[in-house]
Amino acid sequence: MPLDAAGRQSFELRWERYSPQIRAALTHLYPGREREVEERLCALLLAAFKARSPELRRLDEERLLRPDWLQLPEMIGYVCYADRFAGNLAGIADRVDYLTDLGVRYLHVMPFLRPREGANDGGYAVQDYRSVRPDLGTMDDLEELATVLRENRISLEMDLVLNHVAKEHEWAQRARDGEQKYRDYFLMFPDRTVPDEYEKTLPEIFPDFAPGNFTWDDEAAAWVWTTFNDYQWDLNWANPDVLCEFVDLICWLANKGVEVFRLDAIAFTWKRLGTTSQNQPEVHDLTQAMRACLRIAAPAVAFKAEAIVAPEDLMAYLGRGEHYGLVSDMAYHNELMVQLWNCVATGEADMAQAALAAMPSKPPSATWATYVRCHDDIGWAISDADAAAVGVSGFDHRAFLSDFYSGEFPGSFARGLVFQANPATGDRRISGSCASLAGLEIALERNDGEGIDAAIARINLMHAVMFGYGGVPLLYMGDEIGLLNDMDYARDPAHAEDNRWAHRPFMDWDLVDKLPDEPLHPARRINEGIRHLIDVRVRTPQLHASIPSDVVESPDSRLLILERLHPLGTLVEVYNFSNQTVRLHHGVLTYRLGYSARELIGNNSYDLRPATIDIAPYQPAWFVRR
Ligand code: GLC
Ligand code: GLC
């Protein structure tokens, strides 16, 4: 389809605006070849721009007028597996009322592209990026789902697995068949010399079921780089053909109506001898190039970085230095998630306070994805420095958290599973659903009313932080009704080895249906709490994600206190992680809010003239000036 004058003008203006960002990135990535690669990308982008539907071009215009769309307090995220939530992609469209009723405006549908058969790492081993897993539907169903969601003002997010492909992917097949062009898409070595050099500094991601980072392939007659499982072949992003393939692909998927790409395992995409081959500077050039491409062809689309890395490395994914504001629009706040579980286990918030206060600030245009649980395990990303800040040893504290959440620690309320114990480092990551880890499973088994109350209160508290921190809160499917660990996962041979499936349950629609008649059911109480938090959150302008949550030095180690300095008035958030009532000296509040405050979650007014106010066990409180 030829472009009309207006279309040509948009393309030209965007190209003028963003091609310098592409060029700068290509110059770092592919010195000497930047011109050639830029020309290839320009042709791809023009074709994608022409193919974009009028509805999506309208969305592009809308987003250009509202660049902070992801930052609005009304952005409430939800994460689900198509089959486990609703059978298939079309089934999700049928459940859209459930989502809108909950207040959802953003939906991450877990991997749905065609994976390899058999074990496929939950869909993260993609065999064909241009077709849908057959039992979930077709590309037409995807387009239809995106349309229905868009009509309901829900933005669709999908996974973009770019560190690796399934070894059955066409590129890998052709590499095995000896085509040099495709061998260059991967990292293949004839013997162990080079792999052994790399291994000296590479960590292991799945030490249990996929030790080492290279796998011998007989047909390819080579050691192939496989960071994750042996069937996931790492791509060679130092080859510009790989970048061109992915730019073409993401434009094509964007034109189906996808609005956010989750950049899976992005930290691993660039390899360098003598390093961990994570967080290399080129990773940010790659993201910058891809993002600038999308700004030209489909500016409605955003990137979310999945970089589960140390806080000092994380901020680069939202843009630091020359990449400031030019890379991912969003990133998971892994640190916050880990600290929440730490607070709940210890009843103390002092380590969280130190760790969050030490984090560098993010660019105002970038947005956190906040979460309590996701489909992955929890790794105890607690640095020795965070631990030292409160006088404990990092190693011992990480071990304590693993003991606590696997239920081994005496008196622990949690029921979780150890994932990937690594004897070399002492690391033991944890699987388990939010409710089971927060104590609901054990309390229900023991018919322990107080235990049930406490578990519900902990779940509510952690979600309050998730909704109140700023960013897109990602509610993980089933957590809104407190689903417990699903130990049936082990019956499926493709899942049996990977206990992350314990916290990837099927949605319990029977339970959802009966909630209206069961006012005292724990699921109902959890659900009401979460709905209420959402309701308050969307009406609180202070929660716009451009505003940072600053840590306030807390007079009591059991309280985490945050402040958000918004032009419409400061919001002070107080979270009591202990099971005791804490007397808070009013100074913290009066200094910021004056002598009369309103607490938004409980909808109470407070006279702050008395010297203290009481914060109830596990209470979240959001104060503004009255
Ligand atoms: C990401 C996914 C995880 C997967 C890994 C490899 O970390 O979240 O589930 O195992 O990437 O693709
Ligand atoms: C890697 C990924 C992390 C994921 C994990 C899967 O560590 O970086 O995102 O949680 O693999 O277990």
Q: What is the pTM of this model?
A: 0.96
Asked whether residue 382 carries a pLDDT value surpassing 90, the answer given is: yes
Q: Which one, of 383, 382, 389, lies nearest residue 430 by Cα?
A: 382
Q: SS3 breakdown of the chain: % helix, strand, coil, rounded to 5?
A: 45, 20, 35
Which residues on neighbouring strands pair with residue 217, listed in sequence order?
Answer: 222
Give the side-chain half-sphere CA count within 13 A for 555.
Answer: 11
Across 259-279, average pLDDT: 98
- Which of 162-166, 424-428, 509-513 bottoms out in mean pLDDT, i.e. has the lowest? 424-428
Alpha carbon distance 247, 261 (integer Å): 12
Q: Is residue 306 lining ligand 2, measured as CB closer than 6 Å?
A: yes
Residues serving a catalytic function are 264, 306
pLDDT digits (tens, 9 = 90+) for 338-372: 999 999 999 999 999 999 999 988 999 999 999 99
Give the pLDDT score at 611: 87
Give the pLDDT score at 2: 77
| CA 32 / ligand 1 centre spacing (Å) | 34
| CA 308 / ligand 2 centre spacing (Å) | 7
The string of DSSP codes covering 217-256 is ETTTTEEEE-SS-TTEEEB-TTSHHHHHHHHHHHHHHHTT
Q: Which one, of 293, 274, 271, lies nearest residue 227 by Cα?
A: 271
Give the side-chain half-sphere CA count within 13 A for 624.
Answer: 20
Rounded to 5 degrees, φ, ψ at 51 are: -80, -5
Alpha carbon distance 626, 623 (integer Å): 9
Best probe residue, ligand 1, of 334, 373, 376 (max atoms within 8 Å of C-beta): 376
Q: Which one, of 311, 331, 265, 328, lies nearest residue 126 by Cα?
A: 265
| CA 305 / ligand 2 centre spacing (Å) | 12
Beta strands in 240-333 (DSSP E): 260-264, 302-305, 330-332
pLDDT digits (tens, 9 = 90+) for 543-585: 999 999 999 999 999 999 999 999 999 999 999 999 999 999 9
Across 293-314, average pLDDT: 96
Asked whether residue 1 carries a pLDDT value surpassing 70, the answer given is: no
Ligand 2: which atom is nearest the Cα of residue 419?
Answer: 12
Residue 226: nearest ligand to its CA? 1
Give the pLDDT score at 610: 87
Q: Is residue 376 lining ligand 2, measured as CB closer than 6 Å?
A: yes
Ligand 2: which atom is nearest the Cα of residue 376?
Answer: 10
Ligand 1: which atom is nearest the Cα of residue 229?
Answer: 6
Run of H or E residues at 604? strand 604-607
Which residues are CB-contacts of 79 (< 8 A; sequence separation ≥ 6)? 107, 108, 110, 374, 375, 474, 475, 476, 477
pLDDT digits (tens, 9 = 90+) for 27-75: 999 999 999 999 999 999 999 999 999 999 999 999 999 999 999 999 9
The mean pLDDT of the chain is: 97
Longest dimension (CA), the chain: 79
Q: Is residue 263 lining ligand 2, measured as CB closer than 6 Å?
A: no
**Which tokens sit at 72?**
């609005």
Best probe residue, ligand 2, of 308, 333, 419, 427 (max atoms within 8 Å of C-beta): 308
Contact 427, 203 (CB under 8 A): no
- Which of 125-129, 205-209, 319-323, 517-521 bottoms out in mean pLDDT, i.e. has the lowest? 205-209
pLDDT digits (tens, 9 = 90+) for 110-129: 999 999 999 999 999 999 99
pLDDT digits (tens, 9 = 90+) for 175-228: 999 999 999 999 999 999 999 999 999 999 998 888 899 999 999 999 999 999
| CA 309 / ligand 2 centre spacing (Å) | 9
| CA 474 / ligand 1 centre spacing (Å) | 17
Alpha carbon distance 592, 548 (integer Å): 16
Q: Is residue 293 lining ligand 2, measured as CB closer than 6 Å?
A: no
Best probe residue, ligand 2, of 121, 205, 279 (max atoms within 8 Å of C-beta): 205
